[in-house]
Amino acid sequence: MEQETKTQITPEERYQKETHCPSCGRFTGVYTRCPYCQALIEKRLSIRVFKWVAVLTSTVGLMLLLFYAKHVQTPEVKISELGPLSNFAHVRIQGEVERSFGIHPKWGSLGFIIAQGGEGNEQQTIRVSAYAKVAKEIENRKLVPVKGDIVSVEGQVRFQKDTPSLLINAPEHISFLKKSDKEPETVKNVDPDKLDHSHLGSYVSVTGSVLSTRSFATGMIVNVDNGSSGLPVWIPKQYLPEDSNLHPGDLVEAVGKVETFKDKLEVKVTRKNAFKIVSRVSTNPTAEETD
């Protein structure tokens, strides 16, 4: 009975066979086709499987990273927990706006200070900033916070002289948990005919007589006499006075934020009791009318 003898291949011979072209004899490394003469090169099954497993693993890993970036929330921390080792960390902080600097008129940067209660009623504060396009986009989306707002912000921690600050890198990283009904820090008294784009974003107090009104389901527009077409004052429904029946000539006072609507300046009332009727025109009939 004849027994078949299997040819034994040494490791050196297998290496030579799998790394050199059988046609031209040149070194091909891990290629399965010779880059010189295009001849096929025999490889072990384990090497081919490993290549496909590596591609599959890297693809799944990238998909998991994408899912993590979109769905996993940035960790929330306390201001008191930040230290030098937190430098450049991306964190989320919630707190009350203690002071707002608004948008800098020259540099276009945004700045405000968040406060949190600490141990023993001691407050911890941190300055939050945004620059350039991010600050501009926050302003365009009307997301500039004011004193008393409860906000949640995400950003990069920066340490300077043992003092932490937070840098916002995207307008989506600031959100409001509660809007403030408090009086703004600075309110300027401005005549309706003196209001211009230099007041944009600031809080003003205007007093004038009513030209016309227009009611909507969400609020009311009161046009205040400014010597031309009227200055619109927008009063959201929740901030309307109990007696909102106005007539042309009534004297009113409004405190609100200067904004633009369809490229026209307007004053937007942002809290209760910020719109008042100072005096009304007489609606009694004259003596001639009663005769």
- Digit-by-digit pLDDT tens for the chain (291 residues) are 444 445 677 878 777 777 888 888 888 887 878 888 888 877 665 566 777 888 889 999 999 888 877 777 888 999 999 988 899 999 999 999 988 888 886 788 999 999 998 665 678 999 999 998 999 999 888 898 988 899 999 999 999 878 899 999 999 999 999 887 665 556 788 899 999 888 888 889 999 999 999 999 999 999 999 988 899 999 998 888 888 889 999 999 999 889 988 888 999 998 888 899 999 986 554 433 443
β-bridge mates for residue 91, sequence order:
155
pTM to 2 decimals? 0.48
Any idea what the Cα angle at residue 108 is, between residues 104 and 112, rounded to 5°? 50
Per CATH, the number for 187-279 is 2.40.50.140
Residue from 276, 213, 217 nearest 247 by CA? 213
Residue from 256, 91, 124 nearest 183 by CA? 256
Per CATH, the number for 79-178 is 2.40.50.140
Q: Are 98 and 79 in contact (CB under 8 A)?
A: no
Q: φ, ψ for residue 222 (rounded to 5)?
A: -115, 120
- Beta pairing, strands 251-261 & 275-279: antiparallel
Structural domain boundaries of the chain? 11-70, 79-178, 187-279
- 79-178 and 187-279 share one fold: yes
